[in-house]
Chains A and B, each alone.
Chain A
């Protein structure tokens, strides 16, 4: 879609709909954001337990290979052969990779992404081959920086991005470490294709205002209600956030939802409430924590249901959400079963996440002819500051704060 007038209002609390539609803007995002001064989530450190283990990932449109080399270090490089641009690794991951060979013309790369050999470099029977001037050291896919933090591997193409700890800030960092403090085990992987621009999901997951309104399941069972304790932390640059709900006895008597006639207040009750049999495994009464790191990372703790979600844009109108369900290596069988039951809350069929799967598409379609109109993001004011309530859109404005900084708009 070509948008004639690309307006950008001054206020963080207004966002024009063309940013979810415009293809030139989408290409700019790749350059300024995904290849810019950010740290993108690539995979779990657990995915790269042994030398030769590798994963492929997509950072925006950029395909990358992340690999643990024989020297024990983790390296990342563009998954693009320096010869003709073909993917070097085709699978989502593997093990025992001593090197990587492009299938097209068999150019071979080291675990560090350096070009090791070119098939028939000297030609055949003295004829053909690469020119004498061809220097393998000058030809390689782009290399990315790697940062490992709390079981998570982040990558960046930027030399200017600050160290990951500084990038995330102390508050959000603490919230990651709160959940990811022990060795994890992957207990499920699924991909959900969403019919919307990636930013609509990035906003949705930062939007603490909608959770108990859209999701009747949450509201009715008091997993999270805006009348419960909690708040939202937003990093100084706006890009990263953590929202949390604290178990608050006595909330049952609140009638705020009923008084406002909000749909999520229902009389719905479970026949088998074992799905809600949660334990306070982190010892801080935080029942729910949703955390994002700009641009593509989400960490979720809903009761004892833990998952990492990775955002992959697929053009202006589509994206993939990669779900990695987690347990801890030291889970008891009871805890593991609890996580399996609670996983009903999330993912493509989740009592909660199902709705986040479709609501972005509702916005994409609803605003299809409204490129010049503005979305209103005014709950809680017009700043992106940390607040001790979730009846705010502060962390959504935070997303736009870092977005506009990076996009220079």
Chain B
């Protein structure tokens, strides 16, 4: 399980950083929750996220919007994902926390530390591989530079 968890996190980051966004929804089960929030919003029980998707199709819509509708300057991310801690688990699912750091590289080469935080995950096994039932992206800061296009 732990080896699979590492693999899941590594593949997730690699898909986003390699601009294989279409693969991103497939890391989730159909009935999922993906939310980008901040530590402060989480602490205060404020539920609205920067991104809030409660189905895999909403994740697919994010990707097709980025591909076909949204306007933003060309940019890529480099995710550095730390080691997951298993908070609790049973046969059905595991609750994990994993720290991350994301560098944003703009088309002109400018690099910025764009986001840091932790993933709060509920991970389940589906069809022989691990998937996210829930991934809360809890950013350490509530401030975002310019825009958040590519998912974290």
* CA distance in complex: A359, B64 (Å): 21
Residues 47-65 of chain B: 1 if any A CB is under 8 Å from the residue's CB, otherwise 0? 1111111110110111011
| Inter-chain contacts of B149 with A (CB < 8 A) | 349, 354
Q: Are B65 and A268 in contact (CB under 8 A)?
A: yes
- Taking a contact as CB atoms under 8 Å apart, the answer to whether B73 and A193 are in contact is no
Which residue of chain A has its CB nearest to the CB of B71?
A355
CB contacts under 8 Å to B, within A168-193, are 186-193
Q: How many angstroms between the C-alpha atoms of A266 and B143 in the bound complex?
A: 32
Contact B144 A192 (CB under 8 A): yes
Q: Which of B40, B48, B58 contacts A272 (CB 8 A)?
A: B58
Question: Does residue B146 face the partner (Cβ distance < 8 Å to A)?
Answer: yes
B142 to chain A, nearest CB (A): 5
CB distance B52 to A193 under 8 Å? no
Q: How far is the CA of A211 from the CA of B49 in the complex (A)?
A: 23
Q: Judging by beta carbons under 8 Å apart, are B147 and A357 in contact?
A: yes
Interface string of A187-223 (1 = CB under 8 A from B): 1111111110000000000000000001011001000
Are B144 and A275 closer than 8 Å at their CB atoms? no
* Distance of A78 Cα from B70 Cα, bound (Å): 41
Smallest Cβ distance from B134 to chain A, in angstroms? 14
Q: A336: CB under 8 A from chain B?
A: yes
Q: Using a CB-CB cutoff of 8 Å, which residues 336-391 of chain A contact chain B?
A: 336-337, 339-341, 343-344, 347-351, 354-355, 357-359, 361
Task: Pick the residue among A188, A348, A361 that contacts B144 (CB under 8 A).
Answer: A348
A249-279: CB near B (< 8 Å → 1, else 0) gives 0000000000000000010101110110000
B62: nearest residue on chain A (CB-CB)?
Answer: A344
Instruction: Count A-B pairs with CB separation below 8 Å.
Output: 122
Check A189–B57 contact: CB distance below 8 A. Answer: no
Determine which of A220, A336, A348, A358 lies in contact with B73 in the assembled complex, contact meaning CB atoms within 8 Å. A358
Interface size on B, residues (CB 8 A): 36
Taking CB atoms, residues of chain A closer than 8 Å to B58 are: 271-272, 274-275, 341, 344
Do B52 and A340 have beta carbons less than 8 Å apart?
yes
A385 vs B53: C-alpha distance when bound (angstroms): 41
Residue in A192, A275, A343 whose CB lies within 8 Å of B146: A192
**Are A344 and B69 in touch, CB under 8 angstroms?**
no
* Chain A residues closer than 8 Å to B61, beta-carbon distance: 270-272, 275
Q: Is B91 an interface residue (CB 8 A)?
A: no
B52-A268 in contact (CB<8A): no
A191 and B142 contact, CB distance less than 8 A? yes
> Is there an interface contact between A266 and B68, defined as CB atoms closer than 8 Å?
yes
Q: Bound state CA distance, A350 and B148, in angstroms?
A: 8
B46 within 8 A of A: yes
* A348 CB contact (under 8 Å) in B53, B57, B147: B147
Task: Give A359 to B71 CA distance when docked, in angstroms.
Answer: 9
A325 within 8 A of B: yes
A347 surroundings in chain B (CB, below 8 A): 50
Contact of A344 with B51 in the complex, beta carbons under 8 Å: yes
Closest partner residue, chain A, to B146 (CB atom): A357
Whether, in the assembled complex, B2 has its beta carbon less than 8 Å from a beta carbon of chain A, the answer is no
| Inter-chain contact B147/A349, CB cutoff 8 Å | yes
- Quick check: A217 and B70 within 8 Å, CB to CB? yes
12 A-B pairs with CB atoms under 8 Å apart are A188-B41, A190-B143, A192-B144, A192-B147, A216-B71, A272-B61, A275-B58, A344-B52, A354-B148, A357-B146, A357-B147, A358-B72
> Interface residues, chain B, CB within 8 Å of chain A?
36-38, 40-41, 46-55, 57-58, 60-62, 64-65, 68-73, 142-149
The 5 closest A-B pairs by CB, nearest first: A188-B48, A272-B57, A271-B57, A216-B69, A357-B147
A residues whose Cβ falls under 8 Å from a Cβ of B: 186-195, 214, 216-217, 220, 266, 268, 270-272, 274-275, 320, 325, 336-337, 339-341, 343-344, 347-351, 354-355, 357-359, 361
Beyond the given A186-B46, A358-B71, A358-B72, could you list 8 further A-B residue pairs with CB under 8 A, ordered by the A residue number?
A187-B48, A190-B41, A192-B146, A193-B144, A268-B64, A271-B58, A271-B61, A348-B148
